[in-house]
Structure 1
Amino acid sequence: MGLEMIQPGALSTIQDLGREGYQSQGFQKSGACDKYSMKLSNLLAGNFDENCKEAVVEFTLRGGEIRFTSPEVFSLTGADMRPLLNGEPIPMYAPVCAQEGDVLTLSLAPTGLRTYLAVHGGISVPAVMGSRSTNLKCRLGGFKGRALKQGDCLPTGKTTEQVKVFVEIVKGREDKFALGEDKSFLRRPSTPSRYYGLHGYVLLRVVEGPQAEAFTEEGLKTFLRNPYQLSMSCDRMACKLEGPLIGLKEGADIISDGIVEGSIQISASGLPMVMMADHQATGGYAKIGTVISTDIPSLAQLRPGEWVTFQFITPKEAVGIYRKEDKKLKDFRKRLMDVMDE
């Protein structure tokens, strides 16, 4: 039961929701950069765990080729890498049935950055410290703690008989599982846009602090009023941005303290960088705010050269946004489970 990597693509790793509880010991949380797409892919593949936490393959920019070594049901979400199964186009955001020997081909994504492949039962590599996520810097988790290579064989979590049962449920009812273009509100997270003239930019909502007092009043206004462009120094660890410099009162350095995904550090140069899934455990630059978790997936799909803007919101507003987004996925999960029971 499993998948064989014929060509691994630009950067392909196994990820889940991340490694909780070890940051105090210096281990990054890791996990999928776009957790919304990861959860959605799991649901479409029939993984109905309440947290949608089964391990998936995260492809970056270009996916390569994968051979199925057993019958599987899989789904693809996130960036559209124009998937082909045995040379024939297949849909994104839908369960797809594959037979032993079938080959999935993923090309260069014309837009977006990361694609998520989920299979029924999940990618069943050993859990390390409670997670199957790949931590590239510490070389642990995932498949041998590294990016996938040609010839790697990945086990999946369901037997052939269990997969066949799910195939029988899906066949003939693909339209009830799939998310077509008319359901774009479900395909993507509910991150808003801000317009400057005719140009719309992703609007990242931010909870202010914890070192907001380190910035001048004009620096805070600069941060909120101007768009910032993703630089070429963007990866799973952080997105470094370019744009107007943000003024500080006495420099950017602080006594190192904890970092979370979404923390916005302002470096000594006065430019922001947003911490992503593989962020370090602590940092010594002042943090102007934290991007809310529901907007991180939208940032994770942007490429160098694209733009973002920022807006402060209150912690109470952030919690309300999270609950609304969580309900959206839970309602979809319930809908799929109702289809299963028909």
Structure 2
Amino acid sequence: MAALYVHQVGPGVAVQDLGRSGFLAKGLTRGGAADRLAVYEGAALLRQSPDFAVLEMVGVGGTFEAAEDMRIALTGAEMTAQINGSTAAWNASHTLAKSSVLTIGPTRAGTYGYLHVGGGFATEQMLGSRATHQSCGLGELVTAGDVLPIQSDRGGDVGLALPRDSRFDGGSIRIVPSMQTNDFADETRNRFEVTTFRRDPRANRQGIRMDSDGEGFSTPKALGIVSEVIVPGDIQITGDGTPFVLMAESQTTGGYPRIGTVLPCDMPRVAQAPAGATLQFQFVGLEDGAAIEARAHAAWAALPKAVTPLVRDPATLQDLLSYQLIGGAVSATDAPLDEG
């Protein structure tokens, strides 16, 4: 079986997929990749299923060696990347030949970067998923010396790219009303919408704190809330009026009031916002939210149609001789289009 040798790796690097569904009643949130869109992007670049496991990297990647020839793709937060010392484009697919060394450095924009391999990683499945769920103790972080097995790859093209979008710098986040939204005064909800928040450095896969200037956000009914089910995307307001957006590995119940819930399709923007990035929250109705979500799902499913050939510098092509370079050549002395 093909494998990827891990020579060096940053903190928080883990195998992830789209997570586990159906365990909320048993106290286990879905987990999985913090940026699910990045998983779909990598699948589109490699022409394979988004259900395959990927490597999620937080802030910095590592140094990896290919045990066999393989295809890879790089998506999510842009990181410095090199194959045998030559720059590898981000949001693109590449060939990683046997014994080649892939070096992934720190992020340039965003928070979570992703390494995809043709066939997907073949680590142990637990409860129907290969996702590492740190807060529940399912799986372990990747460490130096690990050998990550890879499933058989059906093969396909490489040298493909997708356009970058703007989800790595914060921006507008759409939310729908939650269980306690109407417990907040109209003035408080309106102020919440017009407030510019900053993504606090205190953040992890369980939740992200949002900082702002001015007074906090509170409701007099906060102390009467009974602990109840919560889901990723819920925005809890703590006792001091600070909002926390719950992320992929959030708890399953809680008693803090929720002023709203982030649409799932906007969660990648929240996850990728680097510390200090500004975000604003915009309420949309449930029907509008469902329509927005449906359009986003359709766009994610259509990503393979958006893939284009990667424009590469011939000077950096290690496999230059494998390319057919004369198909578009024309004669300097024979110009048939000028005849007649």
* 2:23 is the counterpart of 1:18: no
Count of residues in Structure 1 that have an aligned counterpart in Structure 2? 305
Question: 1:205 Cα deviation (Å)?
Answer: 0.2
Residue 259 in 1 paired to residue 246 in 2?
no
Tell me the TM-score normalised to structure 2 length.
0.85
Cα drift, residue 251 of structure 1:
3.0
Indicate if the aligned counterparts of 2:47 and 2:304 stay in contact, CA closer than 8 A: no
Post-superposition CA distance 1:29-64 (Å, at most 9, x none): 1100000011111221231x3xx1111000000001
Alignment partner of 1:319: what SS?
helix
What does the per-residue CA deviation read over 1:167-219, in whole Å, with 9 as the maximum and x for residues that have no partner?
Answer: xx426xx3xx322xxx33xx566x9xxxxxxxx95111000121112212221
Aligned 1:126-165 pairs, distance under 5 A: 126-140=124-138, 145-158=139-152, 162=154
Question: 1:5 touches 1:150 (CA, 8 Å); kept in 2?
Answer: yes
Q: How does 1:19-98 map to 2 (within 5 A)?
A: 19-47=20-48, 49=49, 52-98=50-96
Question: Identical aligned pairs, as a percentage?
Answer: 29
Amino acid in the other structure paired with 1:273: F
Q: Is the 8 A contact 1:216 1:249 kept in 2?
A: no
Checking the alignment, whether the CA contact within 8 Å between 1:263 and 1:291 is kept in structure 2 is yes
In the alignment, the residues of structure 2 paired with residue 263 and residue 57 of structure 1 have an alpha-carbon distance, to the nearest angstrom, of 26
Q: In structure 2, what is the Cα distance between the partners aligned to 1:83 and 1:268?
A: 43
| Aligned pairs for 1:242-257 within 5 A | 242-243=211-212, 244=214, 245-251=216-222, 254-257=225-228
Does the CA contact (< 8 Å) of 2:16 and 2:53 recur in 1?
Answer: yes
**Alignment correspondent of 1:339:** none
CA distance in structure 2 between the partners assigned to 1:224 and 1:104 by the alignment? 43
Measure the CA separation in 2 of the matches of 1:302 and 1:270. Answer: 21
Correspondence for 2:117 among 113, 116, 119: 119
Q: Which runs of 5+ in 1 are unaligned?
A: 192-199, 337-342
CA distance in 2 between counterparts of 1:212 and 1:218 reads 12
Amino acid at match of 2:40: K
SS in 1 for 2:290: helix
Matches within 5 A, 1:231-242: 231-242=200-211
CA distance in 2, matches of 1:302, 1:274: 12
Question: 2: distance between equivalents of 1:22 and 1:42?
Answer: 25
Instruction: Name the residue aligned to 2:100.
Output: 102
Q: In 1, are the aligned partners of 2:179 and 2:258 still within 8 Å (CA)?
A: yes
Query: Displacement, 1:5?
Result: 1.2
- The letter for the 2-side match of 1:211 is Q
**1:1-45, Cα deviation, whole Å (9 max, x unpaired):** 111111111310111111111111111211000000111112212
Kindly state the Cα deviation for residue 153 of structure 1 after the two structures are TM-superposed: 0.7
Q: Deviations over 1:287-335 (max 9, x none)?
A: 1110001110011111222211111001111121122222222223356
Instruction: For structure 2, list consecutive stretches of 5 or more residues without a partner in the other structure.
Output: 308-340
The whole-number CA distance in structure 1 between the counterparts of 2:223 and 2:246 is: 16
Match of residue 170 from structure 1: 157
Q: CA deviation at 1:92?
A: 1.3
Q: Hey, what's the Cα distance between the residues in 2 that align with 1:35 and 1:232?
A: 21
* Amino acid in structure 1 at the alignment position of 2:70: E
| Structure 2 residue 271 is matched with structure 1 residue 297 | no
- 1:311: which partner in 2? 282
Whether 1:230 and 2:199 are equivalent positions in the alignment is: yes
Once superposed, which parts of structure 1, at least 4 consecutive aligned residues long, lie more than 6 Å away?
Answer: none
- The SS at the match of 1:300 is helix
Tell whether the 8 Å contact from 1:42 to 1:119 is kept in structure 2 after alignment: no
The one-letter amino acid paired with 1:29 is R
CA displacement at 1:87 relative to structure 2: 0.7
Q: Please tell me the residue identity of whatever aligns with 2:147.
A: C
CA contact (8 A) 1:19 1:131 kept: yes
**1:36–1:146 Cα change, 3 Å:** same
Q: What is the root-mean-square deviation in Å for CA atoms of aligned residues?
A: 1.9
Output the amino acid matched with 1:228. Answer: F
TM-score normalised by length of structure 1: 0.84
| Mapped partners of 2:140, 2:8: distance in 1 | 15
Confirm whether residue 287 of structure 1 aligns to residue 258 of structure 2.
yes
